[in-house]
Chains A and B, each alone.
Chain A
Amino acid sequence: MKRRDFFKSAAALGLATVVKPDSFAATASGMSVQADTDMVAVMGGEPGVMLTRAMKELGGIGKFVKKGNKVVIKPNIGWDRKPELAANTNPEIVSTLVKMCKSAGASEVLVFDHTCHDWKKSYTNSGIEKAVTDAGGKMVPGNDESYYREVELPNGVNLKKTKIHKAILDCDVWFNVPILKHHGGAKNSISMKNLMGIVWDRGFYHGHDLHQCIADTATYTKKPALNIVDAYRIMKSNGPQGKSEADVVTLKSLIVSADFVAADTAAMKMFSQVSPTDINDVRYIGLAEKLKVGTQNLDKLNVKKIKL
């Protein structure tokens, strides 16, 4: 109880933030121009090739990124682990996306994560820092509270406001690029769980029903243009850190959708082929659907499955 009070007062003290209305407009238009394809799943290629193919099916990067746009990419860079251990998003996917955005005329492409391990080590050892810098993007730190601003989550149940990284708040369009992993706490980490890397105070989540808080975060109005779920290598056990390469299964797959719930549902079905998991145990997926974040009913969607 005291803890809750503390958070309330801390939140009250924080700067109330108004999100720029024009940045909504850009995202909204990005979503509305989406072709009739709701989801693309690709299998059997190298990471960059699969992303290029998926983007083509979705109408090209130009649908999402306009000339001069400030773009943010949010991969999972939470852990001081090398790419082979599948704890972080595949660097090749990130670098391919950076290049795409650049070619569409993005004025800048920023990449960050609020890491769990030491951020510098995670950025470096995940291979993402080098991949991004080489591709012309910029790594932004997320290690300090001053990089975050408070936003309201009016549709949240337990989480009514939270501090989100300024890069996301100030950009024109952003991409959520998680990796598909087993997760000791949330059961599985996919696109919605990846949102815990855009917020500052994760401790609150764990103390106030993790699943509900994750679903609440997904109600944030400035949604990513796309969720790009990296399933090239997945972590089937001992997530989210993994112990060794024995936890890793190479699926050579990619799932892309603007719908959080649909992306996570599809990813869970794919994951269950390796490690059978009841999607109802990954409670945040159902809770998010209840909050009208998206749909679990993939049959209602136009899903394109491509094998390379």
Chain B
Amino acid sequence: MKFLKKIRVVLAILFFLPILLFFVDFTGKLPLHLHSLLKIQWIPALLSLDFGIIIFLLILSLFFGRIYCSTICPLGVFQDVVSWKARLFKKKYKFNHTKPQNILRYSLLALTVVVFVAGSSSLLILLDPYSTFGRFASQLFSPLVIGANNALAFVMNGTGNYTLYKAEQATFVPIAFIISISFFVLVGVMSWFRGRLYCNTVCPVGSTLGLLSRFSLFRISIKESTCTSCGLCEKSCKSECIDSKKMTVDDSRCVSCFNCLSTCKKASLKYEFRYKKPEKKETEQVSAQNSRRAFLATSGALIASVALAKANNISGKKDSILSRKPIMPPGAKNLDHFNTHCTGCQLCVSKCPMQVLKPATLQYGISGIMQPHLEFSTHVFCTYECNICSEVCPTKALEKLKMEDKKLTQIGIAKFRKNMCVVYTDEKDCGACSEHCPTQAVHMIPYKNGLTIPEVTDDLCIGCGGCESICPVRPHQAIYVEGVANQIFAQKPEEAKKFDKVIDDFGF
């Protein structure tokens, strides 16, 4: 049955590499369709209520165990890469059977669920494995890729070769970086020393699938008649779930990596149908005991999480003291929808060609840390002919918008502060804001001495921030965008009057 491991490895690579490359591709050359790979992730599928995929993943788990963890989940594969690399630095690459951390893992799972039901995505954002990996890619790997590209571009451009160009590094957002690197270290260290420990102690998806995989149709089993308890399988098990002495496999932690199948010299390990001979009493006892503990832990977690959710609610009110309302990406619908559906995976942030999307610090309150918001700066605004963020969002936190709809989606409204405008203060022409306004919501009206001054028509404004990004008044622009809590359609800009006459004279 050695071929099973090979299939697993190939599948894992086929999922992992495209996802990784899609995240770090700053050129936008990779096809946008690659985001479909992210829709088959558990949490995005659940949040977007994509029943087809949910059923598919359920069947996958109920048939074959935690195949999701070993092939589809990028964080899972990332851990395999780490522990595989660790092998090169260790004299002995081996794992030992350990007890499951049931209290910890089920508490974290329960806490995540309860906090989410209570209305805060904070834990889901932190613990969703796919999003955690997304943050590794966008906050840690991507800057390295861009740095390397820029160094190469510098050399090449010097010789007149412009196939590579200097790309802008994304703005450093301390909290997003700190959270990403903390998890990177946590996941990295755990997998370096203990294989899939993270998946089996921290990850709520891993814990849930662990509950399911106890009943999966296919499972790893040990044929007691031929097993010599040599321990080779146990040493190769990165989930540390094989007890070679007792000849048991803890299904709840087994991620179906099939490493053990390849190591057994006696071919005593089989990946086979679970329900053919009911003989293993031992494991069932263990699991019964475990679920009792888990229940207690869950109750404790419930209480704790309600308290936490309340604390979150209080902090949610922070909005009122922020200097401006946060600007959500187009397609976010309303604050409530967006805040509960977004897992802060940073895919839209990575794919935004204008780099106007940034992970939030406290703009959405504590539970919205790392969810994307728009931050305008010189030349950085939401470009009119673009709907990439809404296209790629795997959780439907951003509803897919057709280009025509995106061009009308009001994500904010420009506020003009006349007494700061250079036309008012210096009595000189400017008009940079109107120049950058795609809908002419910001337009120039006669002022004095042949000068024109901006005026905003709120109903036409979509809040793209072109005006704010280019306003020369700094540090506080004379025109800026205030976010809206409810994204509605702006009015369609009226077309100019057509010019029908035929000109056949030069005019001079």
| B189 at the binding interface (Cβ < 8 Å) | no
* Chain A proximity of B113: nearest CB distance (Å): 41
Q: Chain A residues near B434: list those with CB within 8 A.
A: 184-185
Chain A residues with CB under 8 Å of B97's CB are none
B165 touches A244 (CB 8 A): no
- Please report the C-alpha to C-alpha distance between residue A174 and residue B473 in the assembled complex, in whole angstroms: 33
Instruction: Report if A162 contacts B (CB, 8 A).
Output: no
Instruction: Give the A interface residue count (CB, 8 A).
Output: 64
Contact A138 B162 (CB under 8 A): yes
A3-B474 contact given A120-B353, A184-B443, A243-B493, CB 8 Å threshold = yes
Q: Which residues of A contact B27 (CB under 8 A)?
A: 120
Tell me whether A96 is interfacial, beta carbon within 8 Å. no
- A210 vs B430: C-alpha distance when bound (angstroms): 6
B-contact 0/1 string along A129-146, CB 8 Å cutoff? 000000000111101101
**Beta-carbon contact of A80 and B429 below 8 Å:** no
Give A287 Cβ to nearest chain B Cβ, in Å: 11
Q: Is B383 within 8 A of A270, CB to CB?
A: no
> Do B496 and A269 touch across chains, with their CB atoms under 8 A apart?
no
B3 within 8 A of A: no
Q: Which chain A residues border B379 with CB–CB below 8 Å?
A: 116
Chain B hits for A266, CB < 8 A: 506, 508
Q: Are B353 and A249 in contact (CB under 8 A)?
A: no
Chain A 95-143 interface residues, beta-carbon cutoff 8 Å to B: 108, 116-118, 120-121, 125, 138-141, 143
Closest A residue to B494 by beta carbon equals A243
B435 A184 Cβ-Cβ under 8 A: yes
Query: Which stretch from B41-49, B174-182, B364-372, B497-505 is at the chain A interface?
Result: B497-505
The minimal Cβ–Cβ distance linking A81 to chain B, given in whole angstroms, is 8
Q: Contacts A206-B422, A207-B422, A283-B429: A236 and B499 contacting too (C-beta < 8 A)?
A: yes
In contact, B472 and A206 (Cβ under 8 angstroms): yes
Contact partner, A186, options B28, B429, B473, B493, Cβ 8 Å: B429
Please tell me if B208 contacts chain A, counting CB pairs below 8 Å.
no
Cross-chain contact A206 with B496 (CB below 8 angstroms): no
Judge whether B94 is part of the interface by a CB distance below 8 angstroms: no
Give chain B nearest CB distance to A37 CB in angstroms: 15
Digitize A270-302: 1 where CB-to-B-CB distance is under 8 Å, 0 elsewhere.
111111001011010000000000000010000
- Smallest CB–CB gap between B337 and chain A, Å? 28
B154 interface hit (Cβ, 8 Å): yes
One of A43, A184, A211 near B506 (C-beta < 8 A): A43
B282 interface residue per 8 A CB criterion: no
Residues of A215-272 at the interface with B, using a CB-CB cut-off of 8 Å, are 236-241, 243-244, 246-247, 249, 251, 253, 265-266, 269-272
Pair count A-B, CB < 8 A: 146
Asked if B279 is at the interface of the complex by the 8 Å CB criterion, the answer is no
Provide the residues of chain A in CB contact with B474, threshold 8 Å. 3, 203
Judge whether B166 and A241 touch: CB under 8 Å. no
In B364-401, which residues have CB < 8 Å from any A CB? 378-379, 383-386
In the complex, which residues 1-46 of chain A have their Cβ closer than 8 Å to any Cβ of chain B? 3, 41, 43-44
For B353, B426, B471, the residue with the greatest tally of chain A CB atoms inside 10 Å of its CB is B353
Q: Quick one: which of A118, A246, A269, A307 contacts B354, CB cutoff 8 A? A: A118
Q: Are B498 and A210 touching (Cβ within 8 A)?
A: no
Give A189's nearest chain B residue, CB to CB: B435
Mask, B1-43, CB within 8 Å of A = 1, is 0000000000000000000000000011000000000000000
Q: How far is the CB of B388 from chain A (nearest CB, A)?
A: 11
Q: Is the CB of B386 within 8 A of A121?
A: yes
Q: Are A210 and B496 in contact (CB under 8 A)?
A: no
**Known interface pairs A184-B434, A241-B436, A305-B506. Does A144 touch B166 (Cβ–Cβ under 8 Å)?**
yes
The residue from B383, B385, B429 contacting A185, defined by CB atoms under 8 A apart: B429
Would you call A207 and B429 a contact (CB within 8 A)?
no
> Quick check: is B431 within 8 A (CB to CB) of the other chain?
yes
With A and B bound together, what is the CA distance between A210 and B384 in angstroms?
Answer: 25
Count, chain B residues at interface, CB 8 A? 52
Give which listed residue, A117, A184, A205, A206, contacts B383 with CB less than 8 A.
Answer: A117
Whether B431 and A185, one on each chain, are in contact in the complex, defined by CB atoms closer than 8 angstroms, is yes
Docked-complex contact A140 and B162, CB < 8 angstroms? yes
Tell yes or no: B206 within 8 A of A by CB: no
Distance in angstroms between the alpha carbons of A275 and B506 in the assembled complex: 14
> Distance (Å) between the CB of B138 and the closest chain A CB?
19
Residues of B within 8 A of A265 (CB): 508
Q: Which of B353, B444, B450, B472 has the most CB of A within 10 A?
A: B472
B429 touches which of A210, A247, A275 (Cβ 8 Å): A210
The interface centre, meaning the residue of A81, A144, A183, A187 with most chain B CB atoms within 10 A of its CB, is A144
Report whether B353 and A246 are in contact in the complex, using a CB–CB cutoff of 8 Å.
Answer: no
Contacts of A281 in B (CB 8 A): 450
CB closest residue in chain A, given B430: A206
- Cα separation A207 to B470 with both chains bound (whole Å): 11
B439 touches A (CB below 8 Å): yes
**Do A243 and B495 form a contact, CB below 8 Å, given A238-B440, A266-B508, A269-B506?**
yes
- A209 sits at the interface (CB 8 A): yes
For the complex, what is the distance from the CA of A238 to the CA of B426, rounded to whole Å?
Answer: 24
How far, in whole Å, are A180 and B439 apart by their CA atoms in the complex?
20
The residue of chain A having its C-beta at the shortest distance from the C-beta of B501 within the complex is A274
Enumerate chain B residues within 8 angstroms of A236, measured Cβ to Cβ: 496, 499
Does B278 sit at the interface, judged by CB under 8 A? no
Q: Tell which of B27, B471, B504 has the most Cβ of chain A within 10 Å.
A: B504
Q: Judge if B507 is at the interface, Cβ distance under 8 Å.
A: yes
CB <8 Å contact, A80 and B385:
yes
The reply to whether A185 and B430 form a contact with Cβ atoms under 8 Å apart is yes
Q: Can you show 17 pairs from A to B with CB atoms below 8 A apart?
A: A3-B474, A41-B508, A80-B383, A80-B386, A116-B379, A116-B435, A117-B384, A121-B353, A121-B386, A144-B165, A185-B432, A206-B470, A206-B471, A238-B496, A243-B493, A246-B497, A247-B496
Further 18 A-B residue pairs, CB within 8 A, beyond A246-B497, A283-B429? A43-B504, A108-B160, A118-B383, A121-B383, A143-B166, A144-B165, A184-B435, A185-B429, A185-B432, A186-B431, A206-B471, A207-B472, A209-B429, A243-B439, A249-B499, A269-B506, A270-B508, A271-B507
Q: B-contacting residues of A (Cβ < 8 Å)? A: 3, 41, 43-44, 80-81, 108, 116-118, 120-121, 125, 138-141, 143-144, 146-147, 183-187, 203-207, 209-211, 236-241, 243-244, 246-247, 249, 251, 253, 265-266, 269-275, 278, 280-281, 283, 298, 303, 305, 307
Which B positions have Cβ atoms within 8 angstroms of A?
27-28, 154, 157, 160, 162, 165-166, 168, 353-354, 378-379, 383-386, 422, 426, 428-432, 434-440, 443-444, 450, 452, 470-474, 493, 495-499, 503-508
